[in-house]
Amino acid sequence: MNLQGLEALVKMELKKLIRQPANLFLTLLFPAVLTLMFGVVFGDPELGMDMNLIVPGVIVYACIFIIMTVAQSFSTERQEGLLKRMNTTPMTSGEFMGSQIITNMTIAILQVIVVFALAVLIGFRPNGSVGAIFLAFPVIALFSLSSVGLGLITATVSKTPEAATGISFVFILPQMFFGTFMPITDTTRRIAMLITSYYVVDALTLIFRGDWTSTNILLDVGVISIVSVTIVIIGILLFEKYGNV
């Protein structure tokens, strides 16, 4: 793998994000708006909402929407023939997929920074040390792998970018209702435990509460790692075989 080529592709993808206002809003501005809205409107403990739950939930909620942006991006590039033209260049599929993974991991980490900074400004005070809070970055970066993988799976079965937008919600909605800032009951917990985002929120909540040495975090990270790596591998294989045409 050519590292210089990979670096160039990552820079190209980040520049593409800046030039697409809709995707920029979904990836960075949307989580910022959500943080302010939930922090100001629902941040009062008397309303039963805990900022320790809201902040991890918003971070995960934002990362989930990477599914849609990846699906739209790949569907658009395929529709416009860019993927076929890329096959005629010296760039390998590994470099191309690697650039997508690195780019979206970078975006996920930026989302953590944006949400965390705004949350602190409106009163969020995590109990963990600064070093412990940095554990949130690798956790959310790992989770971004599953979003990339699900985005590739969506792009594989979508004939158009518009279809990709709709189909992506098949993966977004379950994670939104059972794995972010939505209250979970004993009944819904059984469903939530089948969804990766549930474990991400649990890990981030423990980190921000100062319980970062808890063995539950190791369990959460183990589940996130195994599921996310598996999903991204499946997504890459499916897209290379059926979607890159």
Domain boundaries, the chain: 3-243
CA atoms 240, 197, 209, 34: torsion sign: positive
Choose among 86, 73, 207: nearest CA to 147: 73
Which tokens belong to 181? Answer: 């800032």
Tens digits of per-residue pLDDT, 176-197? Answer: 888 786 778 888 888 889 999 9
**Percent of the chain's residues with pLDDT above 70:** 87
Determine if the pTM surpasses 0.75.
yes
Model pLDDT, residue 99: 82
Whether the Cβ atoms of residue 226 and residue 149 lie closer than 8 Å to each other: no
Tens digits of per-residue pLDDT, 195-235? Answer: 999 999 999 988 888 887 788 999 999 999 999 999 999 99
> Helix, strand, coil proportions of the chain in percent (round to 5)?
80, 0, 20
Whether the Cβ atoms of residue 180 and residue 64 lie closer than 8 Å to each other: yes
Which residues are within 8 A (CB) of 134 and not within 5 positions of it... i.e. 6 or more apart? none
Q: How far does Cα 175 stand from its chain's mean position?
A: 11
